[in-house]
Chains A and B, each alone.
Chain A
Amino acid sequence: MTVATQGDLSTLTSKELHQLIVNKDISVMELVEVFLNRINQYDPQLNAYITVVQDKARAQAIDVDNKIRSGELNHPLAGVPYALKDLFCTKGILTSCGSKMLSNFISPYDATVYDKLNQAGAVLLGKVNMDEFAMGSSNENSFYGAVANPWDLSRIPGGSSGGSAAAVAAGLAAYSLGSDTGGSVRQPASYCGISSIKPTYGRISRYGMTAYASSLDQCGPMARSAEDMALILQTVSGFDVRDSTSANVPVPDYSATLNEPLAGLRIGIPKEFFADGLDADVAKVINEAVEEFKRLGATVKEVSLPNSHLSVAAYYVIAPAEASANLSRFDGVRFGHSCDAPTNLQDLYERSRWEGFGDEVKRRIVIGTYALSSGYYDAYYLKAQKIRRLIKNDFVAAFNDVDVLMGPVTPTTAFKIGEKSDDPIAMYLGDIYTLPISLAGVPAVSIPVGFSDNLPVGLQIIGDYFNEAKLLNVAHQYQQVTDWHRQSPSQFTGA
């Protein structure tokens, strides 16, 4: 190994790591060992990983080293070690969804995204922690325990893809795939100072990604740079006959447009995202980032998303309603947790489900079942879908005038572990800036743009349907003139 230290390697982007492999500065096996050692050394403080697949990773490293040497493999992610949120099915590996319900579930098949990354020669290090069934904003709702934020171990990393964000921020994986239903890649990326993208609904196949709310769920890459996100998105996107909601829309070359200049870019600032409730220090960091885009030649105007304040209400009907239907598959019969000594079939169902699910999941199942039940459907689910149309229309109107929208990802920086765990409403209200995007189904990136009290602040950049290339271009240009995305928590950058 001719590169300096293991600590240095952990802060490199996927693109840089791949270049070291191609230059023969390091072998895939050596790189995998570096990350496995780091997980061993640092993960006990973070609890980011649920499962580490040392043996599989080493076997895959040998295979990929051989294939790169023989010229059989030249994908830009070949040899780069990554982690998957534990809701992506991986054959022969525990896929727990952060739940007691699936704490014994060895998936019998592979998710499409995992299959695509395997073909690219990416090396899986393990499966990372998450809020149970992706329901939560703090990663405290996990059967496997809370995850710590690498920037301040007393704080949450965000959720539900909290393990993904913590692992990437601390250099325990070069990148990760999370999932985003109401902000679950953007919010933890913001709290942990990394980059993430929630693509347009339908952009990435969800085959093998455990369902939470099917009209909202989308897979999202989490990485160290916009350039890395372009490579990852390129690899995992595209139509899949196995996902009936996947979009049959061509995938552009995301890397090809990264270097387009931003002169003339029209940025819209939704005034509702800067109203009461936004922390003043966070607002200051966001405004400074917007100033940077002006220096890059963009023009800025205020726009309005007048129905965005209804997002929390509409989301907490639609998502639980769909979750209650999706989670009805857990019956204690075919897979997952099954209670001891059931007295009859109803007892088997009711006790297996009560014992297997955690409190937040059960709350959402009850809310969702209520919203769909006879006599309440119109007042709740149908009403929420109509509100959803109004929210979508706001975005459609805004994109008539501007190319992208910019605003905060969250009203504050990462809060303390335990601070909101007894107050679900307070937790839900923190999703106010990410939910409108999810309900509309448009894409958005979250990139680090500074700090408030030594905690990372993320900027959300929102684009029109299937315009991920523009978002990545805008984020990349910002990352060419700033270095917030290259900052790493000092506690984890040692050898």
Chain B
Amino acid sequence: MAISKAEVVKVAHLARLAIPEDRLEGYTHTISDILDLVAQMNAVNTDDVLPLLNPLDATQLLRADEVTESNQRELYQSVAPRVEDGLYLVPKVIE
């Protein structure tokens, strides 16, 4: 196996996914198979190759630091699961 169950649990936690115990075996198996497929890349020497980050080799577009949008808090909060007085509600973080 290219990846262990413990590693899958760790990575799932990093990705904030609560993977249930009964699904762990299946996920580990499939992810291992995918990593085996991906390992084909190792057959190629890429020491002198520059990574391609953008297919056009373009860099991030910049613009003047000016306000271009108006505040639309109510509109954007209209699709939020829990809001009160213009604030997003989450479970208590500090005891």
A interface vs B, CB < 8 Å?
Answer: 104-106, 108, 200-202, 215-216, 241, 244-245, 247, 307, 309-310, 312-314, 316-317, 324, 328, 331-338, 342-351, 353-354, 357, 362-363, 365-367, 369-370, 373, 380, 382-390, 392, 424-425, 428, 439-442, 465
Contact = CB atoms under 8 A, between A and B. Distances in A.
Contact of A370 (B3, B20, B30): B3
Most buried by B among A307, A336, A354, A439: A354
A439 B51 CA distance: 12
Chain B: interface secondary structure? loop
Given A106-B79, A335-B80, A345-B90, A465 B56 contact: yes
Interface string B68-95: 0000100110111110000010111100
Contacts of B63: 241
Given A353-B16, A366-B11, A366-B17, A387 B41 contact: yes
B34 A388 contact: no
Contacts of A366: 8, 11-12, 15, 17, 27, 31
B67 interface: no
B6 interface: no
Contact of A202 (B20, B31, B56): B56
A324 to B, nearest CB: 6
A370 B11 contact: yes
B54 A108 contact: no
A460 to B, nearest CB: 18
Interface size bucket, B side? 35 or more
Contacts of B76: 108, 334-335
Most buried by A among B16, B19, B53: B16
Contacts of A442: 55
B33 interface: yes
B17 A347 contact: no
A440 to B, nearest CB: 6
Interface string B25-42: 001001101110111111
Contacts of A314: 41
